[in-house]
Amino acid sequence: MFLRPSFLCLAICAALQTSALAADASASTSSNEEVEFNDQFLFNTGTNIDVSRFSRGNPVVPGTFKTQILLNGQKKLLTDFTFKENGTTRATPCFTPKILLQVGIKAEPLKDALSKEEDGHEICVSLNDQLSGSSWDFDASTQELSLSVPQIYVERHPGGYVDPSLWEDGITAGILSYDLNAWHSDSAYGSEDTAYAGLKYGLNMGPWRLRSRGTLNWSEDEGTDYSSQEAYLQRDVTALRAQLLLGDSYTRGDTFNAINLRGVRMYNDDRMLPGGVSTYAPTIRGVAKTNAKVTISQNGNKIYESTVPPGAFEIDDLSTTGYGSDLIVTIEESDGSQRNFSVPYSSVSQMLRPGYGRWDIGAGELNDNGLKDKPRVAYLTGYYGLSNTFTGYAGMQYMDTDYLSGLLGIAMNTGIGAFALDVTHSDADVDGVGRLTGQSYRLSWSKLLSDTNTSFNVAAYRFSTEDYLTLNDAASLSEDIKYRDTSRNPDHTSEDVYNRFQRMKNQVQVNVSQPLTVGKDDYGSLYVNGSWQDYWTESSSTSQYSMGYNNSFWLGSYSISLQRSYDEYGEKDDSLYLSLNIPLENLLGNNKHPGGFSSVNMSVNSDFKDSTTFNTSANGNSEDYRFNYSVNASTNHSDSGDLNQIGGYGSYNSQYGPLSLSASASDDNSRQYSLSYSGGMLVHSGGITLAPGSIGDTDTLALVNAPGAKGAHLSIGDGVIGSSGYAIMPYLTAYRENTVGIDISEMDADVEVKSTSTVAVPRSGAILRVDFETDQGRSLLLELHRSDNSFIPLGADVLNEKGESVGSVGQAGQAYVRGVEESGKLRVVWGSEAGSSCTVNYHITPSAQKVGLTTLLNNQTCQM
């Protein structure tokens, strides 16, 4: 008895080594050669196991299964794959020419099979005959079919390339997303109650995407108002690597200024190509003195709103509506005061790779809420990479109010940076003014100085002649002249309207960032941003400048920023912000977090006039980082007296979206409270599933289905499988391979998940349903011993009362089974001869011992 464990260990090791050799032999011979096992290496107890079914490797039953196909170790395709009966224990995989092409095999060696398949007959090809030296192996436990194919037969594509035949349209589903913010304040100006809802909703049907976006605003004084910003129908045009869009949308602003078009557009989609170009959006930086409401508007539409705690804030996830319109940022403090500044927003360099084109064409009406008349417009823009040095581009705009403009430009890649120079000519015939023609010249530059690591992100200059008009200018000028109030101003002529009409003359913008390093020593980083513009009217110029420095040292980190802006009336607004952040573990050591707080932040903010604010806050978070919180106290010194304030801010990232709360109170009886929440949902054939946050206009999602796997976390995002078996995984990248997985370590239920990871390739805006196969039958671990005191062999099958295999016996007579009832009878079989089986009757009591989620039954007798 004392020798049995050692002998058992030796037997298991020998069995595993033999199995590994058998698997290697199977793979190398494409599963054709038989391997003979010597069962004496397993046990020498007089009871043998029938291992003949493993002579060709792991058994493969015929049928069609959801299978993950791998090519030379890389996941390529998840599909329904067929294995055909061949009279052996290992069914033959049916490799069709289409599947081989989809996983990346060249068409040339398959041309004969492809010609036969074109006749309408689906054929299965022999992998080794068509692709000499190839082999396959199938792992039934993970449903993975691995192909080993010589590289000569494999297509070579640029990095990130995925064959368009693998792009998936996704399922039919409805989408609703919401960003909510409720705000209440009491101040010397009175009481204010407002609420905001940013709504996005749509429907996916096959290749079509219906999307709409708008904002719902409510205030106690003005009531409720809904503003629709976009509504459109969109789909891929794969052959052109383009998007077709019908409805309301903003055009690109990289050539002409962006316009809101109601009509039809078609434009190329860079994401469909390897190394696709991502869209640009600026980072918004500012400083809040109190718990403040930050809103961002573009083209008169509110596109963002949130509540931020006191101190410096940064918004780097903005979803903008075009490339060429400035962003207006409004900071509303808890005392009711407001500050505004604008952020220039335009594209940088127009350089493209040689032979690559970019184009955009559309027609419809100008959808501008500020216009009573909606003129018809059409446009066309195009870029083409002429060489590594030059990219040419051109464009045209037409409006039926007798307006026409054309653009011609060249971008070049030089040793001193990338330049783009273009000239736009406009011709407009405006009633009462006459024909106006003019030109606008634009020069932009982008460069990273490698010697100093200085980055000139944007450096642009534009000059427009006096009679140059953009399309929006021409439409607004015609509207102003047509509907001017001649009854109140009888001497107000069309020429007067034109002379007072604000038209840009010069515009300059620069963004520079500079890391300060000497050798291996880091001295922080410095940035300088600025913009300036003037007009062909009596209006003063407007400008905005900012600079900042940040660094870290042994105790923490600090930053300094200075901002100055001038409005069109010449009014100056200055702001100086100093901040020091100290992690408490640096100050106290030993990872101490007193009171649950992890860091302390101190800051000073001054407008160089009559107001200086000192703020101190303590910040903390839960161990899983789902809950973040802070408390703050501030003092404001001004000519009108001192003002003291205390406040708090907290946010919780739930599986159904982030929720945040803020509150503050001042000694002048000012009060502020706010509540923010972001979320979304999908309506699909399986019901309604809530998203772990808001869903963007073109967000690509995975609807993960793992029946019974409640509590399993998704590998990306905060999604958790609910009681319905569904969860939403956001942030999938369109036209690229995305790994979709689940973490079953925190599952609530006793469920077996057959696989925990797969690959999905969605189209833009698609909702892919990703199913993970599960077995929800109860699992049971039995410690068995035979009634004749003999040993139950390793690998013996466990059958239920229907004769179905539900498990197997491992070492020391332990049997793991799944799919059993509260009580019943199991038959253990290890051979075909008499005396090679036994029967065990089991019963699960409420007090039965658990191993994880599995029930353990000790000392179970198996009757011979």
pLDDT number for residue 788: 87
pLDDT number for residue 131: 87
Could you tell me which residue, 490 or 209, shows the higher pLDDT? Answer: 209
The model's confidence at residue 303, banded by pLDDT at 50, 70 and 90, is confident
Q: Of 3.40.30.10, 3.30.2290.10, 3.40.630.10, 3.10.20.410, which CATH number belongs to 4-161?
A: 3.10.20.410
| Highest mean pLDDT: which range of 471-480, 514-523, 538-547 | 471-480
With 0-12 / 13-18 / 19 or more C-beta atoms within 10 angstroms meaning exposed / middle / buried, residue 319 is: middle
pLDDT number for residue 580: 94
pLDDT number for residue 485: 60
Question: What are 739-748's pLDDT values in tens digits?
Answer: 898 988 888 8
Mean per-residue pLDDT for 767-783? 88
pLDDT number for residue 864: 82
Question: What are 393-448's pLDDT values in tens digits?
Answer: 999 999 999 999 999 999 887 767 778 999 999 999 998 888 999 999 999 887 76
pLDDT number for residue 14: 36
pLDDT number for residue 749: 79
H/E stretch holding 587: helix 584-588
Tokens of 700: 């690509």
Pairing of strands 327-332, 292-298: antiparallel
Q: Which of 624, 634, 627, 630 is nearest to 599 (CA)?
A: 630
State the residue for tokens 């793992």: 706
Phi (first) and psi of residue 477, to 5 degrees: -65, -45
Task: Give the distance from CA 4 to its chain's centroid.
Answer: 56
pLDDT number for residue 141: 72
H/E stretch holding 14: helix 4-28
The model's confidence at residue 277, banded by pLDDT at 50, 70 and 90, is very low
Contact call for residues 174 and 190 (beta carbons, < 8 A): no
Q: Is 189 helix (H, G, I), strand (E, B) or coil?
A: coil
Q: Kindly report the CATH number that applies to the domain delimited by 778-862.
A: 2.60.40.2070
User: What value does the CA radius of gyration of the chain take, rounded to a whole number of Å?
Assistant: 35
Q: Is 165 helix (H, G, I), strand (E, B) or coil?
A: helix
The Cα–Cα gap between 295 and 332 comes to 8
pLDDT number for residue 490: 59
Residues forming beta bridges with residue 732, ordered by sequence position = 700
- Please compute, for residue 652, the number of CA atoms within 13 A of its CA located in the half-sphere on the CB side: 6
pLDDT number for residue 835: 82
Contact call for residues 767 and 699 (beta carbons, < 8 A): no
Amino acid letter, 447: K
Q: Is the pLDDT of residue 48 over 70?
A: no
The Cα–Cα gap between 613 and 781 comes to 66
Q: Which of 339, 791, 371, 764 is nearest to 567 (CA)?
A: 339
Mean per-residue pLDDT for 807-815? 87
Question: What are 174-219's pLDDT values in tens digits?
Answer: 999 999 999 999 887 888 899 999 999 999 999 999 999 889 999 9
pLDDT number for residue 7: 34
H/E stretch holding 518: strand 504-518
State the residue for tokens 């708090």: 648
The rounded mean pLDDT for the chain is: 82
* CB proximity list for 277: less than 8 A, separation 6 or greater: 270, 271
Contact call for residues 56 and 26 (beta carbons, < 8 A): yes
Task: Give the distance from CA 100 to its chain's centroid.
Answer: 30
Q: In angstroms, how far apart are the furthest CA atoms of the chain?
A: 118
The model's confidence at residue 24, banded by pLDDT at 50, 70 and 90, is very low
Q: Is the pLDDT of residue 489 over 70?
A: no
State the residue for tokens 């009591």: 845
pLDDT number for residue 58: 61
Q: Is the pLDDT of residue 120 over 60?
A: no
- Fold match flag (699-775 vs 778-862): yes
pLDDT number for residue 80: 82
Q: Which CATH class for the 699-775 domain?
A: mainly beta
Could you tell me which residue, 263 or 813, shows the higher pLDDT? Answer: 263
Q: Is the pLDDT of residue 9 over 60?
A: no
pLDDT number for residue 746: 82
Predicted model pTM: 0.73
Q: Is the pLDDT of residue 604 over 70?
A: yes
State the residue for tokens 């397993």: 42
pLDDT number for residue 460: 84
Question: What are 50-79's pLDDT values in tens digits?
Answer: 555 455 556 677 888 888 888 888 888 878
pLDDT number for residue 32: 47
pLDDT number for residue 275: 58
Q: Is the pLDDT of residue 575 over 60?
A: yes
Q: Is the pLDDT of residue 783 over 70?
A: yes
pLDDT number for residue 241: 92
Own/partner pairs, 17-24, CB within 8 angstroms, 24+ separation: 19/54, 22/54, 22/55, 22/57, 23/57, 23/58, 23/137
- What percentage of the chain has pLDDT greater than the value 90? 32
So where are the chain's domains? 4-161, 371-379+389-536, 699-775, 778-862
C-alpha separations of 430 from 56, 208, 400, 463, 503 in Å: 85, 41, 12, 22, 15
Contact call for residues 617 and 630 (beta carbons, < 8 A): yes
The Cα–Cα gap between 305 and 182 comes to 10
Pairing of strands 434-449, 338-343: unpaired
Q: Is the pLDDT of residue 587 over 80?
A: no
- What percentage of the chain has pLDDT greater than the value 70? 86
- Please compute, for residue 659, the number of CA atoms within 13 A of its CA located in the half-sphere on the CB side: 4
* CB neighbour burial string for 444-471, b if at least 16 within 10 angstroms, e if fewer: bbbbeeeeeeebbbbbbebebbebbbbb
- Please compute, for residue 381, the number of CA atoms within 13 A of its CA located in the half-sphere on the CB side: 20
Which string of DSSP letters, residue by residue, matches 466-501?
A: TT---HHHHHHHHHHHHT--TTT-TT--HHHHHHHS
pLDDT number for residue 628: 93
Contact call for residues 667 and 653 (beta carbons, < 8 A): no
The Cα–Cα gap between 380 and 256 comes to 10
Question: What are 314-337's pLDDT values in tens digits?
Answer: 776 665 544 345 678 888 888 888
The model's confidence at residue 4, banded by pLDDT at 50, 70 and 90, is very low
